[in-house]
Amino acid sequence: MKLNLALAQIATKLGDVESNLEKHLNYIKQAKDQKADLVVFPELSLTGYVLQDLVASVAHQPTEDDPVFKHLLEASHDLDLVVGFVDEDDRHRFFIASAYLSGGRALHVHHKVYLPTYGLFDEGRFFAWGDKIRSFETRFGRVGLLICEDFWHASPPYLLWLDGADIMLFSSASPGRGLTDKEKLESARWVERVSKAYASMFTSFVVHCNRVGYEDGLLFWGGATVNDPNGELLAQGPYFEEALTVVELDLNQLRRTRARLPLLRDERTALVQKELDRILTRGRSNH
Amino acid sequence: MVDLTINTDVARQILTGFIRSEVTRVGYSRAVVGLSGGIDSALSCVLAVEALGAENVLAVMMPYKTSNRDSLEHAGLLIEQLQLPNKTIEITAMVDPLFDLDPEISKLRKGNIMARERMIVLYDQSEVFKGLVIGTSNKTEILLGYSTQFGDAASAMNPLGDLYKTQLRQLSRAMNIPAPIMDKPPSADLWQGQTDEGELGFTYEQVDQLLYLMVDHRYSPQECVEAGFDEKFVDLVLKRIRRHQFKRMQPPIAKISNRTVGYDFLYLRDWGT
C-alpha cells in the first residue's frame, strides 16, 4: 500500500486562529491538488507557539460544532489531517494537542505528555500535562502522534511502537538554537538524529513536521523529515521557509525491513516490564 | 582555545529573516540605522539592507564636533558601497548647551548625553522615514553592560544581540564590510582617543572566550579558571555581568494588583502578528 504524505511546515500568526485556519485550508487544498492522502501540520499550528496568557482565548475542541474544527472536519472527507491546537477539556484544563481527522471525524487526540519548562521553555506554567500515549487505527494502518518534547524522551515512541504504531507522526514548534561552524543548528541536528534513530530502532516510518517563522526573536527552523523503516531519509523540507513537502511512502517497506530485521518480534516486553517494576517499586534509581 | 566560529551563511539567513519579519509584521517596510563608522552599526546596516532593500534603509550619521573624522569617512564608505539613503545630523548644537550648564561635567556624563541625544535624533528620523530603529548592541557589550541605557542600547529590534564581538567580526567579513571599518580598533568615539578595549581593560577576543564558556556553556567560575583563565579576570567579568543586569531589564514595577505587566500579564511583542 502506498501513502501519499504531505508535510505542511507553515508559519503561524500568534493567537490569530482565524487567519491560521485560513492558511490550513489553503495548504489542504494544495495538498489535495497534489493527490496527498494525509497532510501533517506542526505543533500548535492553529494558534502559534509562545502563547503565554493567550492560551485560554485560543482554545478549541475538535468537534463539529466548533467554529474552527467544523471546517477542518469537513476538509477531512477529502484527505486525512493532523493539526496542532490548544484543547480545552470539560473541566477547563488546557492541553497542547494534536488531532488526527479523517472522514469528518476526529479519530484521535493526543495531549502533549512532556511539557518542557526549562531554558527558553515555559509550557508547564501555562498547560496541563497529558497522561496518555496511545496508537490508533487509520486507513493506513496503526499510527501514533507525539508532540515535540514527547519524543525527546525515549519512552513515548517506545510505547507507541509496542501499542502497534507503524507510522509515527511527530509535530514540533522547535526554536532554532546553537549556531556553531556547522551548516545545521544544534537543535535541528538533535531532532534529525533522534528521528532517524527511532525509525531505525523501531523499524517504522517516522515523520516529523516542524513549523517555521519568527515569534519575537525565536526562529522555528522547519526542515520536515520522513525516515523509512530502514532509517533512511525519504524526504526533507527546507529550513526556515514555509513549504509543502509531498512524498510517497511505500508501506510494504515495513514488511521487507522487518523480515530482514526482526527487532519488533524479538523485543522482550516481559523483561522490560519485570525490570521496570523492580526499578520503580524497589528503588535503585533516582526516581 | 575556545572556538566561537559560526556558520555565517546560516547567521545571515536567520538575522535578515528576523529583521524582515519584525519590520513587516507590524505593517512597516523600512528601517533606520544610526551609522557611527564602526563595525557594529555597519553590520546592522548591511543586514537591514539585505532584508529590506537599500532604498528602505536610512543611514543616519550624528557626529559631535570632537568626533573622529575617520568615523564619518568610514560611514561614507558603506553608504557609497550600498547606495543608501542617508542624513547627517550633527548633535553639537543640541548637547553643548547642556554641557555648558555645568563646567564640572565629566567625560562619562558627556558620553551618556551624546548617546541619548543620538537616540532622540534616531527615533525622530524613524518617524520621518517611517522606519523602525535597528539596534547595534552585541552580546559582549550587553553582557558587560558596556552601553548607555536608553542611549545606544535603545532600538525597536536588535539583530546583533546574540553575537559576540568576535562572531560579529566574522559575519562582517563574510558580508564585505569595508576594510577600514573592519580593521580599526573599536571605539564609542565619545571622547578623543577612547577605545573599547582600553576602557574595558581587556580585549574582546579574551573576554568573548570567557563569556562563551560562562554563559553559553554554563561553566562555573572555578571551571573557567581550570580552563586556563586568570582568576582575577574571571571574577572581574562575573562582577561586571551581575552589576549590569539592570541594563538588560525593563524597570521593575511594584506589584499591587492581581495582574501586573511583566509578572502575570504575559504576551510576546509579536502578539497577533
Partner A contacted by B97 (CB < 8 A): no
Q: How far apart are CA B102 and CA A269, in angstroms?
A: 82
Q: How far is B152 from chain A (nearest CA, A)?
A: 20
Q: Work out the pLDDT band at A282, boundaries 50, 70, 90.
A: confident
Residue of B6, B9, B267 lying closest to A52 (CB–CB): B267
Chain A residues in contact with B273 (beta carbon < 8 A): 13-14, 16
Q: b or e along A219-232 (b: 16 or more beta carbons within 10 Å of the residue's beta carbon)?
A: bbbbbbbbbbbebe
Q: What is the pLDDT of residues A160-206, one digit of tens each?
A: 999 999 999 999 999 999 999 999 999 999 999 999 999 999 999 99
Residue A285, pLDDT > 60, answer no
Mean pLDDT of the A244-263 span: 98
CATH fold label, B8-196:
Rossmann fold (3.40.50)
Strands A105-111 and A167-172: unpaired
C-alpha cell at B22: 519584525
Per-residue pLDDT at A266: 98
Please, which residues bridge with residue A233 across strands? A227
ipTM, two decimals, is 0.93
Report domain extents, chain B: 8-196
Per-residue pLDDT at A284: 64
C-alpha cell at B186: 573599536
Q: How far apart are CA A220 and CA A151, in angstroms?
A: 17
Per-residue pLDDT at B18: 98
C-alpha cell at B29: 517596510
Compute the Cα dihedral for B150, B153, B155, B161 and give only its sign.
negative
Residue A46: closest CA among A112, A120, A96, A103: A96
Q: b or e along B71-106 (b: 16 or more beta carbons within 10 Å of the residue's beta carbon)?
A: bbebbbbbbeebebbbeebebbebbeeeeeeeeeee
Backbone φ and ψ of B102, nearest 5°: -140, 105
Please, which residues bridge with residue A220 across strands? A175, A213
Per-residue pLDDT at A286: 54
Q: How far apart are CA B119 and CA B138, in angstroms?
A: 17
Between chains, do B271 and A182 touch, taking CB under 8 Å as contact? no
User: Which residue on chain B is closest to A240 by alpha carbon?
Assistant: B14
The answer for A 162-191 residues in CB contact with B (under 8 A) is 176, 179-185
Residue of B14, B162, B268 lying closest to A216 (CB–CB): B268
Per-residue pLDDT at A218: 98
Residue A287, pLDDT > 80, answer no
Report domain extents, chain A: 2-262
Q: How far is B65 from chain A (nearest CA, A)?
A: 37
Between chains, do B7 and A182 touch, taking CB under 8 Å as contact? yes
Of chain B, the end-to-end C-alpha distance in Å amounts to 43
Contact A16, A51 (CB under 8 A): no
- H-helix or E-strand containing A186? helix A186-201
Can you say how many angstroms the Cα of residue B245 is from the centroid of all Cα atoms in its chain? Answer: 16
Q: What is the pLDDT of residues A50-70, one digit of tens each?
A: 999 999 999 999 999 999 999
Coil, strand or helix at A109: strand
- Rg of the Cα atoms in chain B: 19
pTM above 0.80, yes or no: yes
Q: What is the pLDDT of residues B183-217, one digit of tens each?
A: 999 998 888 888 999 999 999 999 999 999 999 99
Residue recorded with cell 501514533:
A144
Residue recorded with cell 553643548:
B96
Contact B25, B156 (CB under 8 A): no
Along the 273 residues of chain B, how does pLDDT read in single tens digits?
799 999 999 999 999 999 999 999 999 999 999 999 999 999 999 999 999 999 999 999 999 999 999 999 999 999 999 999 999 999 999 999 999 999 999 999 999 999 999 999 999 999 999 999 999 999 999 999 999 999 999 999 999 999 999 999 999 999 999 999 999 999 988 888 889 999 999 999 999 999 999 999 999 999 999 999 999 999 999 999 999 999 999 999 999 999 999 999 999 999 999
Pick among A19, A23, A47, A53 to test the B interface (most B CBs inside 10 A): A53
CATH 3.40.50.10490 fits A2-262, yes or no: no
